[in-house]
């Protein structure tokens, strides 16, 4: 296991992916984007025409598919059967369906095992997701749980879509974020919740740099 493990969990559009990536850069650590892993499986299942609620079928697909997750400076490159899908897995179709993969217990367990295996290859790692501090890395050196006002999270997600040239109605985005929250919080395996020893950080009204500054200070206090 990595010498220093920092987990950053939180709901959709709380800023965890961007914050985790930037914090990893400051620490000189590997950034593990677990959301990309769930998205990659979702993308592959959609392309194969699989029933996303059939956990057994998804596991079979994973057995016959080469998933490569390559943490690197500035993010994580993802390929499926040799095809780079780093950008494709961020498309709205995948975003709207990934909750089914995230809620599938056997699939989630398989991906958590892959996350732990990736952590074995790094000296220090910053990993983000929804169950990193509670399930994947319960013995992490620092656990952070990011929160933000739902309205602000919806605005952030809309801005992300617009930056990609995708127009969306704010009300629709707000409903989508709320639906994902409900799905994440109510699933039986790896539900979204802060670990008992997590530091809860409210990012509402803060810039990305301000949030990263706070987390970097926590890292220094832990001697990581």
Establish if 219 belongs to a structural domain: no
The token pair at 201 is: 């950080």
Tell me: the pLDDT tens digits for 210-224?
A: 999 999 999 999 988
Establish if 223 belongs to a structural domain: no
In this structure, the strands spanning 75-80 and 67-72 are antiparallel
Question: How far, in Å, CA of 111 to CA of 132, rounded?
Answer: 11
Contact predicate 96/177, CB 8 Å = no
Domain count, the chain: 1
Whole-model pTM above 0.75? yes
CATH classification at residue 37: 3.40.50.300
Establish if 216 belongs to a structural domain: no
Q: Which of the four pLDDT bands, split at 50, 70 and 90, describes residue 2?
A: low
Establish if 217 belongs to a structural domain: no
Question: How far, in Å, CA of 62 to CA of 153, rounded?
Answer: 32
Tell me: the pLDDT tens digits for 31-89?
A: 999 999 999 999 999 999 999 999 999 999 999 999 999 887 667 899 999 999 999 99
Establish if 15 belongs to a structural domain: yes
Establish if 84 belongs to a structural domain: yes
Establish if 222 belongs to a structural domain: no
Q: What angle is formed at CA 172 by the lines to CA 168 and CA 174, rounded to 5 degrees?
A: 110
The label of the residue with tokens 């965890």 reads: 16
Establish if 220 belongs to a structural domain: no
Question: How far, in Å, CA of 222 to CA of 86, rounded?
Answer: 33
Q: Which of the four pLDDT bands, split at 50, 70 and 90, describes residue 1?
A: low
Owning domain of residue 178? 4-211
């Amino acid at each position: 296991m990595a010498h220093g493990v920092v987990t950053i969990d939180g709901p959709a559009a709380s800023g965890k992916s961007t914050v985790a990536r930037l914090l990893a850069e400051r620490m000189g650590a590997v950034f593990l984007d677990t959301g990309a892993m769930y998205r990659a499986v979702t993308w592959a299942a959609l392309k194969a025409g699989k029933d996303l609620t059939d956990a057994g079928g998804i596991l079979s697909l994973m057995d016959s598919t080469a998933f490569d997750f390559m943490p690197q400076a500035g993010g994580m490159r993802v390929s499926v059967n040799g095809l780079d899908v780093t950008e494709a897995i961020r498309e709205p179709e995948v975003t709207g369906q990934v909750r089914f993969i995230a809620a599938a217990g056997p699939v989630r367990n398989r991906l958590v095992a892959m996350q732990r295996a990736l952590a074995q290859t790094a000296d220090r790692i910053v990993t983000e997701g929804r169950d990193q501090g509670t399930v994947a890395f319960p013995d992490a050196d620092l656990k952070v749980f990011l929160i933000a006002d739902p309205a602000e999270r919806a605005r952030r997600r809309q801005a992300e879509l617009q930056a990609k040239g995708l127009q969306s109605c704010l009300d629709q985005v707000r409903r989508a974020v709320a639906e994902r929250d409900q799905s994440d919080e109510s699933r039986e395996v790896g539900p979204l919740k802060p670990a008992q020893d997590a530091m809860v950080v409210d990012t509402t009204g803060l810039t990305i740099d301000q949030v990263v500054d706070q987390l970097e200070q926590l890292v220094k206090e832990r001697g990581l």
